[in-house]
Amino acid sequence: MRTLLARVHTGPAAVLAVLTLSACLLIAGMPRVLQAAYDEGLRRTLSTTSAQEHDLVVTSMYGDVLQERGQFEARERAFRKVLPPGLASVVTTGGTSHIAAATVETPAKDRARQYINVGWLSDLARRVDWVSGRPPGRTHTTYVPDQRKFGTVPVVEVGVSEDAAQRMNLGIGTFVVLGVSHHTAIQVTGIYRPKDAADGYWEHNLDAYKVERRLVPGAEEPDLYITTLTSDQGLRTLSDGNRRVVYSWVFGVDTERVSAREVPGTVQAIKDFQRAVAVEVGSFNQGRLETGLPRRLAGFLGSLATAQTVMYLVLGGLVVVALGVIVLAVRLLTERMDAALALMRARGGSLPQVTSAGLAQVALATLPAALAGYLLAYLVPGPLTPIVHVGPLLVPLCALGYAAVRLTLAHRTPLNERRDDVTSAKPSTRRITLEVMIVALALAGAYLLRSRGVTTEVGTQGQDPFLLLVPVALAVAAGLVTLRCYPYPLRAIVRLAAARRPAVPFIGLTLAARARSFTVLPVLILLPALAVSVFASVVSSGVSSTQELAAWQQVGAQIRAEHEVEIPPEAVRRIERVPGVERVVTAETGLAQIARSHIAVISIDLAAYQDVLNAGPVRLPPPPTGPGTPVLVSPKLPRDVTFTANWHVPMKLTSAGVIDSLPGMGSQGEFVVMPADANERSGTPTRVNLALIKGDADPAAVAAAANLPGLRVRSQAQALAEIRQAPLTSTVQSTLVMVTAALAGYAMIAVIMTLVITAPARARTLSFLSTLGLSPGQAQRLTVLEVSPMILITALAGLGLGLVLPAALGPGLDLSAYTGSVAVGGYRTDLLTPVLLGVGLTAVSVLGAYAHTALGRRRSLGSVLRVGD
């Protein structure tokens, strides 16, 4: 019986199955793709960090006396023991992990500005190749030549790096006395070279590999720092409590193992470890954990939270729409079964029997499809998150729940004959109250969203689920309002049509104006689908245009060439001759002292510069005019005053206007824009150090033509590519595009399904009218007129809502993480995509209506009129 029912309704069941499968695939697959993208983003964020920044380094100094290798290793084991589980999984045992000890800033006697530390590395032997000499070994004591008063000093054998041996003149056999009060001598026995200098290991021990130069203010030459490396024996001597020795245990972090989901846990684990380390080492020894990982992770969490918010918004809309379409398909299937189930009910089927028979069909269509979708999602690359398992369950549950409610209501009483052909049921008070509540909630949510922001503080406080629901709630609210209101304008048109002679518009629009219950679902699907897809496309294009703006703001021209000192006029002329270069505007930038503070100044011909900027979205104010040397100042500097700026020479300037921002000057901070000849007016020549180039030239060719060492050339295209390649940015962009496409698809399905659901009723009406003399052409026009107003009005409402949403939620949605820190403001209403969506949808519905009547014509009138008579 049940299998028979299923066989009879294969069409709707297949549609339901396909929809369920795709929705489950979507719900299970999208989070995986996104999670993988988040992980990739995290990897890319961490890959730019040095080992020194992301590794965990436990240091201990003062009073902690460890002399034997065994003591260090025991301490390491103790640290590993208190490593929180969240951290233990990412900390490596090999890799960059090691133990080190070294003296700090040990001055070398008789060697001016040289500091030679003595250090020890637990795995020195496998980290270096000995270029000459031998590895350090035993320790002995000696009298320092010519300095008998020191008494005996220990002599520690050390090895030095090639760089140190060369730059600090530490050849094999060199003997140096170190220290100020407690003297130690070192003797160089070998020169080594790191086996793999690029290994993160050497970032922790940089001065054991390269000489470090530190320039002290006022000094003419830099101080040189080096750490020499000694043996286990040397360590014993070194660490006898007479010297300041810093011990460090480096725990390498495998950044590949950190997943985006575990970031908050990892941050917490680091804090826990910090406390545990302090306890383990003892506060007296100043034991502490040093790592830049939490800061990096916090930064990542910030942009991740924003990405997740946007994803939740659009994916939430997508899920709602997908479920809506599935509910529509369930309705189609159950409506097809209604006749059989009603007969069963009348013939003595109990409500549970009838409902379960119907539910079995829905289950048969959805459960295997959901399982298939779930399994297919395993083909999608990405980690398994709980939503991957729970999400696909939601779809059949939703379908079965709706089917259960609908079947129960439809067959609660046998032979439930409603005369909805005569009157439309008036909405109940309960329903109106519910609708008003949804609209009020959506509006209140939108207000909260505007005032609080949906992405602010998400990094620390997490997402607010209520605010995340606001856009969807707004769409549903708009749908409800549309549903309640759309018959009114139509009725007005009907009244106009009634006065005219042709009958088709009148009948068609009258049919359309009669609010039938089945129009509820399509409107509630179509509207959010359109709204969210338009929202996604507007946000997406807003983000791209803001990225472009940000790139222009960063570079300030199609190509920017700057030099620390000067770009000579010949170099400028050579640049001008590069193919593709249309114009070069030169400028001089620098820092001038204005009233005790240093402020960025630039002297540039603004009119010429505007010509360069014409290719981009940035517009400049007109050049300053007025007596003296008129300048434009940034908003916080005083206006309409004359002041003195000390640049190359003191200059008298008059602030003649305000300029909000100048590309390339950064968005923060103060600056002054002077005329190009400002220096000349004060009697000094202009030393051009910035060339802003208009034209589509190759940056490399520009650099080559200038032939100027130290010239930095950067193009706007490069900057844009960098912004777009930033972690997560491409994920956000591509997801927005994907969601737009998926929603458009769902909207089309909803329209087609509505046509199919309403087909029997329409066929009856049309057949009846045909007996009264309606021609097939008129029947087609009638169908189009009946179907299109609802879709047209819904499309318009969805379009409107989608366009308003970014503006309404804009202040609450901080997408600057993806646009090179420039806030996405003033979403340009790029109407192309939204209008295409709306037009496409309407076209599909109209074509569907035509096709439908064309197909319907094949059936004979008699058979149609007898159907369900």
Summarize as ranges the residues that interact with another protein (CB under 8 A): 1, 4-5, 7-8, 339-340, 343-344, 346-351, 353, 413-415, 419, 422-423, 426, 869
CB of 411 to another protein, least distance (A): 12
Cβ atoms within 10 Å of 424's Cβ, excluding its own? 12
- Separation of CA 625 from chain center: 44
CB of 769 to another protein, least distance (A): 23
Closer residue to another protein (CB): 123 or 420: 420
CB of 339 to another protein, least distance (A): 8
Closer residue to another protein (CB): 426 or 500: 426
From the list 581, 541, 531, the residue with the least C-alpha distance to 561 is 581
Tell me the C-alpha distance between 321 and 329, whole Å.
12
CB of 331 to another protein, least distance (A): 21
Radius of gyration of the chain (CA): 38
- Separation of CA 329 from chain center: 35
β-strands 690-695, 559-562 pairing: antiparallel
84's tokens: 């929180």
Closer residue to another protein (CB): 9 or 243: 9
Closer residue to another protein (CB): 828 or 866: 866
414 secondary structure, DSSP code: T
β-strands 245-251, 212-214 pairing: unpaired
Closer residue to another protein (CB): 263 or 344: 344
The three state secondary structure string of 327-351 is HHHHHHHHHHHHHHHHHHHHCCCCH
What is the sign, positive or negative, of the torsion defined by CA atoms of 71, 73, 79, 81?
Answer: negative
Kindly report the CA angle at 29 between 26 and 32, in degrees rounded to 5?
Answer: 140
Residue with tokens 């306890």: 279
Closer residue to another protein (CB): 419 or 636: 419
Closer residue to another protein (CB): 414 or 459: 414
CB of 335 to another protein, least distance (A): 16
- Amino acid occupying residue 741: A
Give the list of residues 6+ apart from residue 417 with CB closer than 8 angstroms, or none: none
CB of 415 to another protein, least distance (A): 4
Closer residue to another protein (CB): 408 or 816: 408
Closer residue to another protein (CB): 749 or 763: 763
From the list 192, 199, 174, the residue with the least C-alpha distance to 229 is 192
Q: What are phi and psi of 235, to 5 degrees?
A: -60, -40
Q: Are 191 and 172 in contact (CB under 8 A)?
A: yes
Give the list of residues 6+ apart from residue 344 with CB closer than 8 angstroms, or none: 353, 354, 357
CB of 852 to another protein, least distance (A): 24
110's tokens: 């008789």
Closer residue to another protein (CB): 328 or 359: 359
CB of 401 to another protein, least distance (A): 23
Closer residue to another protein (CB): 352 or 650: 352
CB of 3 to another protein, least distance (A): 10
The three state secondary structure string of 174-203 is CEEEECCCCCEEEEEEEEEEECCCCCCHHH
CB of 408 to another protein, least distance (A): 12
CB of 19 to another protein, least distance (A): 24
